[in-house]
Amino acid sequence: MRVVKFISLAVILVLISVFAAAQDAPAQAPTVKHVPITNAPSNSGQEMFHSYCAVCHGTDGKGNGPAASAMKTPPTDLTVLAKKNGGKYPADHVAAVIRGQAATPSHGSQDMPVWGPLFSSISQGHEAQVQQRVTNLVKYIETLQVK
């Protein structure tokens, strides 16, 4: 039941944001619709990124997705994670953020969905597949890093 609640939460967040951004009228009451999380292939970091992350972080990872303007905290520019970390890509940190085990800079804003339980649900609780999802996302985001 906990997992189901998490799913609705993340999906609702994304839909509200998209609606607000598309209408360019965040003050208007948004239409909330429940849709199931899609099952993007766990072996493609790129497809998962486009399905799960691009709505906020942008397809290029720079933080300018369609929902970005509706966020209290702007989505992080994911292309400068290495640059901001002295040139070293913080893979472990990125993995922890995706799973919801790391404090994000604006911890407590909860603007970023917690993906661990969502991935666990679409992977039928198979931890190996959840791990594969996180690993492939982390690797894909590494390819987006600017020098």
Which of 56, 82, 122, 130 is close enough to bind ligand HEC by CB under 6 A? 56
One-letter amino acid of 18: V
Q: Are 22 and 66 in contact (CB under 8 A)?
A: yes
- Among residues 31, 36, 48, the alpha carbon closest in space to that of 11 is found at 36
CB of 8 to ligand HEC, least distance (A): 14
By the rule CB under 6 A, 20 interacts with ligand HEC: no
Residue 80 Ramachandran class (φ > 0 left, ψ -120 to 50 alpha, else beta): alpha
By the rule CB under 6 A, 97 interacts with ligand HEC: yes
Which of 8, 46, 104, 132 is close enough to bind ligand HEC by CB under 6 A? 104
Residue 5 Ramachandran class (φ > 0 left, ψ -120 to 50 alpha, else beta): alpha
Residue whose structure tokens are 């990125």 = 94
By the rule CB under 6 A, 86 interacts with ligand HEC: no
By the rule CB under 6 A, 78 interacts with ligand HEC: yes
Contact residues: ligand HEC, CB under 6 A = 13-14, 17, 52-53, 55-57, 67, 71, 73, 75-76, 78, 94, 97-98, 104-106, 109, 111-113, 115, 137
